[in-house]
């Protein structure tokens, strides 16, 4: 096998991480660089006619179709490519003066994979469940049993008894228009005790129709108080939301991001009613907003805001649409900004970049945009979310900025005075298409690790379910990737070690298919935090199950979604009605009417987006709220508390010198030989931030010996035990004089 | 016609004028020096292909038009210009590891040299990992004689492409929305 035939196979076959020797030879343009190598030749079809003087058919590749997009003189349309290419080429030296040498990626062996065609499903002609669902259910029961991880609890459908009747609705871009853009990323769900009654409430976000605030009544029941709270926002297309006490008055305020019509800050007046304080706060960004993360970057006691912004993925025109995509009689009652068909390549066009914003909380409910002043004005990311982490353990919150169309970025906090980009220095490789992130102390070793989910890499190859635990091996050309192939094409679990991070996702079983965001929490209360990850695309893609990764005492994750009843869905189905078209009427020109006539009803695979781990029935174990795509949410209650042996605490922090929510505090719970470490960052699921107590599973230990809280100020406060299981611990920050 | 489409057409014409194709088609003396430039445009999940005619120059009245398959001559350097009027498409020839994107207005090109006849399966997929379904496409590498013959049979009008393009409602990215929504100057 000559050199090029080997390289060609590598390039054209599905593969995972890039071989380091080939990276050096062929980077910075993963496939495009292959084309510039002189003498590169590919053997192609063995069936092709043989010529006397050479292989049957050769295609000698002599010129680059490289990251510079090979624009030719006079081509006026090349500017976007050149600009973006320049961004990629300077990956090691741009903003912040970062200049680092990127070490090689781990070696992975290429392999062929079976890929799938699109699923064109009609409601009246749904296929039988694929065999892998039953096979995985059986296999997972065995692996869970063999692992020894506690998975004897069950999650059961409690939607009907919950009183929640709201459902998510999507724009037609994510339905019959079938456009590839960010509308299909769906929406978030969050929790907080908005009325101060000691029970957690829920806020659901929809693209179409009203968002919904449900007041917790106890015992897993809720009532809809959206109207009286005044937070429905049914006139705009919402994205997600966050709860945080931005004015330190003791109740959670609400931030809702929207598409282009302006974000909203609702101030909690107590008792579960809100007033819109957007204008007075100086907020209301009008763009393609996503998550709103509140944290205190300068330790002044006020929560600042990092607003993740995706990028321009809509056009100039609005379109009327019906809320119910399955009802032809539903009136065209709302309008939405029509999305771009090529939005997932939007990062290649410089004029579509929207820079995420950092707002400083000036106090008194007023914010100031300090993005440029703090060194974040050149961030190139298409960002859905940000993880506030103290990566260098200096006590100042740093920014891990997720890029859903490129490598993630990391900005180090310079003691509240500026942020400096140290992306590749600290995280040499990151997921290419990151969607969500959460911190956990995987091994209870005191270091806070970072789990990052990557959905967009899964768009590169539509593989069968047997490859769900493997990374993508087929990648896009460098003109689209723009990272020089120096990326992880799947989830990452960055194991922390004194400020250094190494990806151990494959060693720990953290990979999965089509993930969105994640919720970190100890579902089995064994003292090791687990990860609940929403998943699945819907559309023409196969079913992708939600994932429950149970932490096996730090040794790795054990897949348990089928074992505990998270999967399959409560009614056992894999598909649901998606939309209807009238091929003899107004939809005659729609692509879904090609070869069809009359009324045609299409179906899609179930898929989820938002996640919450919250004890909705106050029985001491964590339950699951799963925000669905174009469907009612899933409400699943755990029976762990009924099985005996449940030991846990909840810890609610109240800052005094620090921000009232205590966000940014690090909490250590010592129980017997175990020390658990938690970052109190409010991160609660896909694109979401909530205001809820920390949940601490104690495993076999019935009491905690000690709780240590390191507040954002740097002061450490100790609560000595024993603290009995079941205690709702409230810790108020002591002043320096106390 | 949207502003983007109006912009794309003259751009494509200007770009095409510089490259030679066939030195002397009538004389049958083979391919000229310099690359054969072929332009592919993805529209509504199909490739529309424009070839230089017998004058060898892309962008003249002699251009030829095809759909779906891509015809190439053997033994010639070839430059493929890739464009799209709606989605981002991938031009993928798995057998030889060719892969490039066609993004609206991005002006991406793919350069190669063909050395022997072959029919190579051509994948066309959008960015969501799904191939454009149920249609087989090929890059057909033909002898120079056959290539010229096939060129002579192709139409000199872009009727199919124009019809497809007319049906595309390509949106202008809304990059000044904040000012507009605020009532400020765009």
The ipTM estimated for the assembled molecules is: 0.82
Structure confidence at residue A107 (pLDDT): 41
Nearest chain A residue (CA) to B120: A45
Q: Give yes or no for A477 touching B (CB within 8 A).
A: yes
Structure confidence at residue A222 (pLDDT): 98
Structure confidence at residue A265 (pLDDT): 98
DSSP state of A516: E
Q: Which residues 292-331 in chain A show a CB within 8 A of chain B?
A: 312, 314-317
Nearest C-alpha neighbor of A547 from the set A578, A505, A577: A505
Test B173 with A458 for CB contact under 8 angstroms: no
Contacts of A72 in chain B (CB under 8 A): 15, 18, 107, 109
Strand order of the β-sheet with A449-454 is A434-440, A449-454, A492-497, A500-503
Q: How far from A680 is each of A388, A452, A523, CA to CA, in Å? A: 10, 17, 18
| Integer Cα distance of A648 and A669 in angstroms | 11
B contact test, residue of A3, A77, A288, A406 with most B CBs within 10 A: A77
Q: Give yes or no for A459 touching B (CB within 8 A).
A: yes
Test A352 with B173 for CB contact under 8 angstroms: yes
In CATH terms, B3-170 corresponds, of 3.30.70.100, 3.90.1300.10, 2.60.40.420, 2.30.31.70, to 2.60.40.420
Residue-averaged pLDDT of chain A: 86
Nearest C-alpha neighbor of B54 from the set B78, B74, B29: B29
- More reliable by pLDDT, A675 or B19: A675
Residues of chain A with pLDDT under 70: 1-113, 736-738
Contacts of B17 in chain A (CB under 8 A): 74
Which residues on adjacent β-strands are paired with residue A436? A453
Nearest chain B residue (CA) to A74: B15
- C-beta atoms surrounding A99 within 10 Å: 10
3-state helix, strand, coil in chain A (%, to 5): 15, 35, 50
Contact A267, A365 (CB under 8 A): yes
Give the DSSP H/E element, type plus range, for residue A144: helix A131-147
- C-beta atoms surrounding A326 within 10 Å: 17
Test B110 with A70 for CB contact under 8 angstroms: yes
Structure confidence at residue A570 (pLDDT): 87
What is the end-to-end Cα distance of chain A in Å, rounded?
A: 75
Which residues on adjacent β-strands are paired with residue A602? A122, A579
Classify residue A52 as exposed, middle or buried by CB count within 10 Å of its CB (0-12, 13-18, 19+).
exposed
| Integer Cα distance of A217 and A431 in angstroms | 41
Per-residue pLDDT, averaged over B77-91, amounts to: 93
| Integer Cα distance of A199 and B182 in angstroms | 39
Contacts of A51 in chain B (CB under 8 A): 116
- pLDDT band, very low/low/confident/very high, at B129 (cuts 50, 70, 90): low
Geometric angle at alpha carbon A234, from A232 and A238, rounded to 5° = 85
Q: Classify strands B138-142 and B70-73 as parallel, antiparallel or unpaired.
A: parallel
């Amino acid at each position: 096998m000559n050199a090029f035939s080997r390289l060609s196979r590598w390039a054209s076959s599905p593969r995972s991480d890039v071989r380091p020797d080939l990276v050096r030879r062929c980077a910075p343009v993963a496939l495009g660089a292959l084309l510039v190598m002189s003498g590169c030749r590919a053997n192609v079809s063995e069936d092709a006619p043989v010529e006397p003087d050479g292989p049957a058919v050769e295609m000698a590749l002599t010129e680059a179709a490289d990251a510079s997009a090979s624009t030719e003189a006079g081509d006026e349309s090349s500017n976007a490519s050149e600009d973006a290419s320049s961004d990629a080429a300077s990956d090691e030296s741009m903003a912040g003066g970062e200049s680092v040498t990127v070490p090689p990626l781990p070696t992975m062996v290429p392999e062929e994979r079976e890929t799938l065609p699109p699923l064109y499903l009609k409601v009246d002609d749904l296929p039988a469940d694929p065999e892998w669902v039953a096979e995985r259910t059986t296999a997972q029961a065995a692996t869970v049993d063999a692992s020894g991880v506690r998975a004897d609890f069950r999650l059961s459908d409690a939607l009907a008894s919950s009183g929640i009747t709201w459902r998510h609705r999507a724009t037609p871009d994510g339905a019959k228009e079938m456009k590839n853009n960010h509308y299909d990323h769906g929406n978030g769900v969050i929790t907080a005790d908005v009325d101060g009654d000691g029970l957690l409430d829920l806020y659901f976000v929809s693209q179409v129709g009203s968002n919904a605030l449900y007041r917790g009544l106890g015992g897993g029941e809720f009532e809809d108080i959206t109207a009286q709270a005044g937070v429905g926002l049914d006139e705009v297309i919402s994205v997600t939301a966050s709860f945080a006490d931005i004015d330190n008055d003791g109740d959670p305020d609400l931030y809702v991001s929207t598409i282009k019509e302006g974000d909203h800050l609702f101030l909690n007046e107590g008792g579960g009613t809100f007033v819109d304080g957007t204008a007075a706060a100086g907020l209301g960004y009008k763009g393609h907003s996503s998550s709103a993360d509140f944290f205190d970057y300068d330790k002044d006691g006020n929560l600042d805001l990092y607003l993740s912004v995706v990028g321009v993925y809509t056009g100039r025109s609005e379109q009327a649409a019906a809320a119910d995509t399955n009802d032809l009689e539903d009136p065209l009652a709302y309008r939405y900004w029509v999305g771009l068909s090529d939005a997932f390549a939007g990062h290649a066009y410089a004029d579509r970049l929207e820079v995420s914003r950092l707002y400083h909380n000036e106090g008194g409910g007023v914010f100031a945009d300090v993005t440029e002043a703090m060194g974040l004005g050149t961030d190139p990311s298409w960002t859905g979310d940000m993880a506030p982490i103290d990566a260098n353990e200096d006590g100042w919150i740093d920014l891990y900025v997720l890029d859903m169309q490129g490598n993630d970025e990391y900005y180090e906090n310079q003691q509240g005075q500026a942020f400096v980009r140290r992306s590749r220095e600290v995280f040499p490789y990151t997921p290419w298409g990151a969607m969500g992130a959460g911190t956990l102390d995987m091994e209870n070793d005191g270091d806070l690790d970072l789990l990052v989910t990557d959905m967009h890499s899964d768009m590169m190859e539509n593989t069968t379910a047997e490859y769900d635990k493997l990374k993508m091996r087929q990648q896009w050309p460098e003109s689209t990737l723009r990272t020089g192939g120096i990326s992880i094409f799947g989830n990452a679990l960055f194991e922390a070690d004194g400020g250094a991070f190494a990806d151990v996702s494959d060693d720990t079983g953290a990979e999965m298919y089509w993930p969105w965001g994640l919720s970190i929490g100890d579902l089995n209360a064994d003292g090791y935090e687990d990860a609940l990850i929403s998943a699945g695309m819907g559309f023409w893609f196969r079913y992708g199950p939600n994932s429950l990764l149970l932490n096996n005492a730090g040794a790795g994750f054990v897949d348990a979604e089928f074992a505990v009843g998270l999967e399959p869905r409560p009614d056992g189905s894999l598909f649901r009605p998606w939309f209807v078209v009238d091929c003899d009427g107004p939809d005659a020109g729609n692509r879904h009417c090609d070869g069809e006539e009359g009324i045609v009803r299409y179906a899609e695979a179930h898929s989820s987006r938002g996640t919450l781990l919250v004890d909705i029935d106050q029985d001491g174990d964590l339950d699951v709220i799963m925000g669905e795509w174009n469907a009612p949410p899933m409400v699943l209650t755990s029976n762990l508390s009924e099985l005996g042996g449940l030991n846990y605490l909840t810890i609610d922090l109240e800052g005094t010198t620090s921000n009232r929510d205590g966000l940014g505090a690090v909490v250590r719970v010592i129980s017997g030989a175990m020390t658990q470490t938690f970052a109190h960052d409010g991160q609660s699921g896909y694109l979401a931030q909530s205001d809820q107590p920390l949940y601490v599973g104690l495993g076999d230990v019935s009491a905690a010996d000690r709780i240590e809280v390191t507040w954002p100020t740097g002061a450490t406060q100790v609560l000595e035990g024993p603290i009995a299981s079941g205690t709702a611990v409230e810790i108020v920050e002591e002043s320096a004089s106390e | 016609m949207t502003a983007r489409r109006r912009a794309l057409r003259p751009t494509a014409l200007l770009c095409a004028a510089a490259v030679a194709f066939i030195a002397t088609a009538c004389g049958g003396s083979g391919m000229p020096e310099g690359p054969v430039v072929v332009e592919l445009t993805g529209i509504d999940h199909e490739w529309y292909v424009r070839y230089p005619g017998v004058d060898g120059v892309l962008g003249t009245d002699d251009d030829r038009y095809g759909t779906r398959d891509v015809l190439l001559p053997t033994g010639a350097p070839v430059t493929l210009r890739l464009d799209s009027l709606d989605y981002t498409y991938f031009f993928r020839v798995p057998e030889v590891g060719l892969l490039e994107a066609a993004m609206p207005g991005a002006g991406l090109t793919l350069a190669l040299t063909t050395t022997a006849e072959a029919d190579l399966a051509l994948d066309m997929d959008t960015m969501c990992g799904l191939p454009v379904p149920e249609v087989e496409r090929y890059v057909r590498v033909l002898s120079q004689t056959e290539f010229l013959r096939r060129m002579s049979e192709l139409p000199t009008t872009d009727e199919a492409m124009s019809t497809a393009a007319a049906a595309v409602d390509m949106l202008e990215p809304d990059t000044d929305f904040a000012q507009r929504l605020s009532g400020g100057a765009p």
